[in-house]
Amino acid sequence: MGSSSPTFSLPPQRAVFAGLLFDMDGTIIDSTSAVEKHWHTIGEELGEDPNVILQTSHGRRSIDVLKLLRPEKATWEYVKHMEGQLPLKYGSDAVEIPGARSLLDSIRGANVPWAIVTSGTMPLVSGWLDVLKLPHPEHLVVAEDVENGKPDPTCYIMGREKLGLQSDAEVLVLEDSPAGIKAGKAAGCKVVGVVTSHTVEQIVDARPDWIIKDLDSLKMVGNSNRGVELEFLNALNVK
């Protein structure tokens, strides 16, 4: 990355996409505080160090974390119940990522194809969207839909298919984690990385197509039969 610090200073760039695939936590909402409290509770219940859990849990499915720590607890019944409690108990600790609501309102108003593709379960996703009064997408890909979580690209391939888009369609994945960025790229999508949960260096190393601070730097500027036109503002300059 050179000797100088990277800056979010690139001039505006525009691109057209046939559809958008959003990660959830760290991309649409920030539930870091809630998740930390949640895993501390679960860690204590399981007799595991919650700090060790938190070092590897972000962007990964809970069932994959449990497979390593407590295989006997790695069932969808347990995970969905556990995650369903998170928004109910800690809903006041979550906030939307800056710009998320505005962007979602814009694309919904223009009937842009979009979906949420997340490592969370259905109870977790629907719970957070309800608590924060954010729109529910017509299409969802959740943890229990795929055999392997991110960075496996299956979830994003499935998301593109749910939008009815072919593999050659220009689709944008919006992600905050290196595993998710790698999954989107491996699925053949363009990817924008948001620096909300990981360091700039970690996001750069994952090699997304654009890097922005948050969704305030992404605006819808047009919509036509070619697709939705987005403008990337103040993207990261790593040179």
Q: How many other β-carbons are positioned within 10 Å of the β-carbon of residue 87?
A: 25
**Is 176 known to be catalytic?**
no
Distance (Å, whole) CA 203 – CA 211:
8
Supply the DSSP symbol for 189: -
Strand residues in the chain grouped as ranges (E): 7-8, 13-17, 19-22, 29-30, 95-96, 114-117, 139-141, 171-175, 190-194, 210-212, 218-224, 227-232, 236-237
**Is 93 known to be catalytic?**
no
Distance (Å, whole) CA 211 – CA 205:
11
Half-sphere exposure of 155 (CA within 13 A, CB side): 35
Catalytic residue among 25, 30, 209, 214: 25
Q: Using an 8 Å Cβ cutoff, are 174 and 157 in contact?
A: no
Q: Using an 8 Å Cβ cutoff, are 193 and 181 in contact?
A: yes
Catalytic residue among 23, 30, 176, 209: 23
Supply the DSSP symbol for 78: H
Q: Using an 8 Å Cβ cutoff, are 34 and 93 in contact?
A: yes
Distances (CA, A) of 195 to 34, 88, 115, 185, 204: 19, 27, 21, 17, 10
The residues annotated as belonging to the active site are 23, 25
